[in-house]
Structure 1
Amino acid sequence: MSLIVKNVAIAGASGNVGARVLDALLNIGFNVTVLSRMSKAFPTGAYVKVVDFNSAESLSAAVAGQDAVIDTTFSLDVETPLRLIDAAVHSGVYRFITSDFGLDPDLPGVHDMPIFGRKKASYEAVKRYAAQNRLTYTVVACGAFLDWGLSSGFAGLDLEGKQASIFGDGNNVVPWTTLNDVGIATANVLIHPHETLNRPVYVHTVFMSQNQVLDEAKKGLGKEGWNTTYNDMDSLLEKALADLQAGRISASVFEVQIQYCLATKRLAHPWARDDNSLLGLKEWDSDKVKELIQSIAHKTA
């Protein structure tokens, strides 16, 4: 199989991650095919194929002739990513990038969280095919999404209301990566197919604890008026898993599992291996984090 990647198919290109990956691919100059459930507008330069993600035949036909396939879809469905991986193998695709974009998949315990069941299944599938020399793969480990986490409240900060919900003691230092940096790193994987062969790559915009992020918020938005709550993540996780088992499904059931990981050093900590320079990223200083917080707060005000 060729090491030169020119033709790239992407699934999930209208999502938060997928849109950034698509932009980065087009900026580099790849021939990009967007796999979409329906006809819709995408940036100029992208070719759109309407596919049936429930059909192995439709997916195999759609990725025929592609050098790489990138999965940026996000859902709890396990079968769709596995079907996409199988289609890539069937059509002789060289490189597959899984829809992981999170914590280190090789850390024991990470993929045991139910929320990561989809990622676990995809990782096991690409490793199995790689061992048979039928596919190569890359997983992009980026920690938590910095800008999305701040704007959505997932990072525990309500910037407008000055409310902080801290995971545990808030002191665990973890990787945070902006969506734009995730897009750039993912596209650049395909420029370095040998260096990124059959492994996770590890990128970050910053390594910070939740308390450090809160400190930057206070610097940028003023120290007065903050209300901070510290959460017992063990009890929150226990409740979330009980709710999940009982079929009481809510967004918090899934968010708590990730937040628990971010509070737990054995599951989330600064990468031992750093691929920032390989994949075109530069680490931010704390001032840039403060500026990002200010810009997000001004948009929501």
Structure 2
Amino acid sequence: MMRIAIAGSGGLGRMFAQHLNDTVHPFIILSRRDQPALTAQGYQVAIVDYDSQDDLRYTLRGIDLVISTVSGVPQINLIDAAAHSGVQRFIPAEFEGPPARRTANDPLDRGKRATIDRLRHWSHHHRHQMRFTIFSCGIFYERFARGGLAASDIGTLTGIQNEGAYLMNMRLGTAEVVERTTSGQTIYICLTSIHDLGRFFIASLGLGLQNWPAEFRMYGERMSVTQLLQWAAAVRGSKTYDPDPTDVKLTYIVEMFSTDVIEPQDLAAHLQHATYYHDYPKMARIQELIATEQRRYDFAAPNLNTLVAVQPVSFWDWLSAEWGVAPAQ
């Protein structure tokens, strides 16, 4: 049995809490403010000030493992407090793409490099040594959910949280993708549902914190961008319905996908155009396409899949369950 703290009460934090609630491990949820809905469910919520080391250190006393779903300066402060409080291991808010895949001067960094540098500092500290493990799981299936990641209260500050913000819009039947790298290779991406991330995490606890590596890699599916679009079109065409003729947005052919394939060498020009016109949603989309072309969300040999008995849901099954029925009118 280990004592666990979940930093953040948003969608990912609540997901981890739901999965931990079915185990013997006691846990607390750290939040900046009262969470009556969570306490009503029987969860223990500790209100913390991420600017106060004294507050954070007091709250983390006796904690073995911290799972962070907060970012930026609050996460850096949390890391420092965790190390001083004797926390054994820290899981940073580093889900999705493996850090090793990032480039220098990454526009999608959002403080992630500084976070890892801080964790490395404490992992070698002579007095307050604290290990860390990154859970890399690829793209969340829920990016393609109804309402996007925002529907799960995830990624609210990333610019790609809304429905249709990455690769394709299932509701409208549109796609904006890059299918090949600048060298002509087919682009693959790894994907996992957020609840399977939770299942992988719970299973990993049985391995013992002392046996965790610096990075766990897992996925529910690895597929090419081209195949993803083919599956999406097949799922979307599995049911037909009569759209409201007065709603222009819905007057499309259900079976077809309108796809804009951007050549990799043109991505920089698309970003420059979006930047010039201050089109921030498009800037976010193109930056994600650039990251995809750089294979930021693709990795082989998922080491956690082979260590635990978790059978993740396939992307086909998940997408079919999410979109294989007529959207509500």
Category of TM-score, reference length = shorter chain: 0.7 to 0.9
- Check conservation: 2:96, 2:297, Cα contact below 8 A: no
- What do the CA deviations read for 1:204-244 (whole angstroms, capped 9, x no partner)? 11001222111111211217332111124554456648988
Pairing partner for 2:188 from 173, 178, 181:
173
Tell me the distance in 2 between the aligned counterparts of 1:237 and 1:185. Answer: 37
Q: Name the residue aligned to 2:65.
A: 68
Give the secondary-structure state (helix, strand or coil) at the position aligned to 1:215. helix
Task: State whether structure 2 residue 140 is matched by structure 1 residue 140.
Answer: no
Task: State whether structure 2 residue 123 is matched by structure 1 residue 130.
Answer: yes
Tell me the distance in 2 between the aligned counterparts of 1:30 and 1:145. Answer: 26
Q: Name the residue aligned to 1:51.
A: 48
- Check conservation: 1:95, 1:136, Cα contact below 8 A: yes
Give the secondary-structure state (helix, strand or coil) at the position aligned to 2:291. helix
Q: CA deviation at 1:249?
A: 8.4
- Check conservation: 2:29, 2:46, Cα contact below 8 A: yes
Alpha carbons of structure 1 residues 52 and 93: separation in structure 2 relative to 1, 3 Å = same
Single out whichever of 27-36 and 169-178 deviates more from structure 2: 169-178
What do you get for the CA RMSD once the two structures are aligned? 2.9
- What do the CA deviations read for 1:151-200 (whole angstroms, capped 9, x no partner)? 42233221121111113449411111111112222343333213314x11
Pairing partner for 2:169 from 142, 154, 158:
158
* Residue type of the alignment partner of 1:228: T
Correspondence list, 1:193-232, <5 A = 193-197=209-213, 199-222=214-237, 224-232=255-263
- Check conservation: 1:150, 1:157, Cα contact below 8 A: no
Alpha carbons of structure 1 residues 189 and 72: separation in structure 2 relative to 1, 3 Å = farther
Alpha carbons of structure 1 residues 234 and 257: separation in structure 2 relative to 1, 3 Å = farther
Aligned residue pairs: how many?
A: 288
Tell me the distance in 2 between the aligned counterparts of 1:144 and 1:250. Answer: 21
List structure 1 runs of 4+ shifted beyond 6 angstroms.
Answer: 241-244
Q: Name the residue aligned to 1:103.
A: 97
Identity of matched residues, % = 22
Alpha carbons of structure 1 residues 141 and 85: separation in structure 2 relative to 1, 3 Å = same
* Residue type of the alignment partner of 1:48: V
Alpha carbons of structure 1 residues 194 and 92: separation in structure 2 relative to 1, 3 Å = closer
Pairing partner for 1:30 from 15, 25, 28:
25
* Residue type of the alignment partner of 2:166: A
Alpha carbons of structure 1 residues 22 and 252: separation in structure 2 relative to 1, 3 Å = farther
Give the secondary-structure state (helix, strand or coil) at the position aligned to 1:229. strand
Tell me the distance in 1 between the aligned counterparts of 2:88 and 2:307. Answer: 20
Give the secondary-structure state (helix, strand or coil) at the position aligned to 1:101. coil
Alpha carbons of structure 1 residues 240 and 30: separation in structure 2 relative to 1, 3 Å = farther
Q: Name the residue aligned to 2:291.
A: 261
- Check conservation: 2:168, 2:175, Cα contact below 8 A: yes
Tell me the distance in 2 between the aligned counterparts of 1:260 and 1:161. Answer: 23
The answer to which structure has the higher strand fraction is 1
Q: CA deviation at 1:80?
A: 1.1
Tell me the distance in 2 between the aligned counterparts of 1:230 and 1:213. Answer: 13
Q: Which runs of 5+ in 2 are unaligned?
A: 147-162, 238-253
- Check conservation: 2:274, 2:282, Cα contact below 8 A: no
Tell me the distance in 2 between the aligned counterparts of 1:150 and 1:216. Answer: 14
Structure with larger Rg: 2
* Residue type of the alignment partner of 1:259: L
Q: Which runs of 5+ in 1 are unaligned?
A: none
Tell me the distance in 2 between the aligned counterparts of 1:173 and 1:263. Answer: 9
Q: CA deviation at 1:114?
A: 2.6
Give the secondary-structure state (helix, strand or coil) at the position aligned to 2:120. helix
Single out whichever of 84-93 and 61-70 deviates more from structure 2: 61-70
* Residue type of the alignment partner of 1:272: A
Give the secondary-structure state (helix, strand or coil) at the position aligned to 1:116. coil
Alpha carbons of structure 1 residues 83 and 174: separation in structure 2 relative to 1, 3 Å = same
* Residue type of the alignment partner of 1:257: Q
- Check conservation: 1:138, 1:196, Cα contact below 8 A: yes
Task: State whether structure 2 residue 197 is matched by structure 1 residue 182.
Answer: yes
Give the secondary-structure state (helix, strand or coil) at the position aligned to 2:300. coil
Q: CA deviation at 1:12?
A: 1.5
Q: Name the residue aligned to 2:307.
A: 278
Task: State whether structure 2 residue 84 is matched by structure 1 residue 90.
Answer: yes
Tell me the distance in 1 between the aligned counterparts of 2:234 and 2:21. Answer: 37
